[in-house]
Structure 1
């Protein structure tokens, strides 16, 4: 069983598996999480049930394992990880939210797709229309692997854009979720080396958010911040593209190996 991650554009056409292992996608991970939390059902469920603040690295591993399993794993690995995710979602429910709600899962899947699409274009340039369409259709797996029926995923990219705009305009963040996010952006109880990187990660996260979502979380952002962000996002892609592909994809390689090790160890529980 191989742990190799496919390189971007090696076959002359872009598939989801071609670049989902690129570590640059993690730069947008914070903004992706905040976008998810901006929808009340997701935000309240996470704020009341998630252990991310206490065990941020474990929660990151869980999320990345799911992403890599459904896109780069075998059919058996995908099924095993989905069963584990569903098991973890069982207690995440109240009168206000339910982790098995297809509409909430659709939004989470939509943020994963949009993060990948936006970050790819920032770092590698515009996609062709054919590649963009292929990526869009393949990204439905982030939801359909769970409880999102295929007919719920917007049929076209135009319909998705309308759905996205509507969700951004109707997003609402309450004080509980806002306080949770403050702790999240401070690094929670992560090891000291991780917390030391949080100022940069926080800056990138805030910069990548749509202005309305930024305002909902009451996150400060000035014209000077925007200029610094624009300069940074001009330099980062140039530097990133010069990094050898095996190093760019080391994150996916690590999590795939870790997933396979843990699945083999706990196969009797799956």
Structure 2
């Protein structure tokens, strides 16, 4: 892997044109930004932290482990906004949250969050998560869809303004890259195990007003077992072996049945409410529900970092734009 000096600027790439292949007719807009992705949460977080340098950055710098719900909920807005906002400013903002994240791994290697190899790995889990998720939880995905998602993922990644050197040129090359990472690069780490352990989490902020602490504690063990099983099913076999996780043919059959049940359940939900608010906001601008020049829909204030941490440049900390007049269907009490 390329070693990047901690103070080196790796972001000198050309501006992203607004007429790239991402938009309402893209496959990315069809598969990304939906609430099914919450079932992928532990998979995405743990796969990212299996990269040794990314894990070191998270372990040394992130507040993720002290405010996991808030960090997750507020981070979804800019992450989803990168392909949905049709504006390179969102990607550049996400990039800039990472400028000061640098240090040395336990093995003595220097790392920087904007090392292109590290940054691309995180992106790979986002876009390829669409493929893994759709294969299990729907909506149905074709080989043509997968190839289109890969092509669009290159335009998506370019919006960050980070070197595109690590990007594979073809879908086949990407699959080789993914297999190589799973077999030879990814490692277990305390950050991975902490992501996978949700037993100590409090209720999500939106749930606290009506979920008693005792009720949450009583059911969190069952939720842990369910999401560990889901995440194990989503892992590639080399990752399961590395993590020491068993997976039988019976597990696989049950997993596929579970995935089909999830797909059927989501089909009962109106299409717009299957989407995260930031993705829904993009469609609403095109449909005229929201003025095109309205402020971007941002995370509710309850998800923002507390006190002086709001000024820390590693945090996504926007001014919350509720736009009640334009969005009467959005509740103040939930993130959807």
TM-score normalised over the length of structure 1: 0.78
1:66 aligns with 2:81: no
Whole-angstrom CA distance in 2 between matches of 1:101 and 1:162: 21
- Which residue in 1 is equivalent to 2:195? 184
Given that 1:204 and 1:229 are in contact with CA atoms closer than 8 Å, whether structure 2 keeps it comes out as yes
Measured at CA, do residues 66 and 140 of structure 1 come closer, stay the same or move farther in structure 2, by a change above 3 Å? farther
Given that 1:105 and 1:143 are in contact with CA atoms closer than 8 Å, whether structure 2 keeps it comes out as no
Given that 1:55 and 1:189 are in contact with CA atoms closer than 8 Å, whether structure 2 keeps it comes out as no
1:44 aligns with 2:56: yes
Measured at CA, do residues 151 and 244 of structure 1 come closer, stay the same or move farther in structure 2, by a change above 3 Å? same
**Which structure: larger Rg?**
2
- Which residue in 1 is equivalent to 2:101? 91
Question: Which gives a bigger RCO, structure 1 or 2 (Cα 8 Å, sep 6+)?
Answer: 1
- Which residue in 1 is equivalent to 2:92? 82
For the aligned residues, what is the CA RMSD?
A: 3.1
Q: Which runs of 5+ in 2 are unaligned?
A: 1-23, 208-215, 282-295, 302-316, 322-336
Aligned match for 1:258, one of 295, 298, 303: 298
Aligned match for 2:45, one of 24, 33, 44: 33
Measured at CA, do residues 265 and 233 of structure 1 come closer, stay the same or move farther in structure 2, by a change above 3 Å? closer
Measured at CA, do residues 251 and 200 of structure 1 come closer, stay the same or move farther in structure 2, by a change above 3 Å? farther
1:124 aligns with 2:125: no
1:80 Cα deviation from its structure 2 partner: 4.6
Given that 2:78 and 2:90 are in contact with CA atoms closer than 8 Å, whether structure 1 keeps it comes out as no
Measured at CA, do residues 83 and 72 of structure 1 come closer, stay the same or move farther in structure 2, by a change above 3 Å? same
Matches within 5 A, 1:157-176: 157-174=171-188
Q: Which runs of 5+ in 1 are unaligned?
A: 1-10
1:198 aligns with 2:224: yes
Q: Equivalent residue of 1:83, what SS?
A: helix
Aligned match for 2:124, one of 107, 110, 114: 110
Write out per-residue CA displacement over residues 225-262 of structure 1, whole angstroms, 9 at most, x where no aligned residue: 44432331232212222222122114545896225986
1:189 Cα deviation from its structure 2 partner: 5.3
Whole-angstrom CA distance in 1 between matches of 2:26 and 2:268: 20
Q: Of Structure 1 and Structure 2, which has the larger fraction of its residues in helix?
A: 1
- Which residue in 1 is equivalent to 2:19? none
Whole-angstrom CA distance in 1 between matches of 2:300 and 2:194: 31
1:60 Cα deviation from its structure 2 partner: 0.9
1:139 Cα deviation from its structure 2 partner: 1.3
Whole-angstrom CA distance in 2 between matches of 1:142 and 1:97: 24
TM-score normalised over the length of structure 2: 0.64
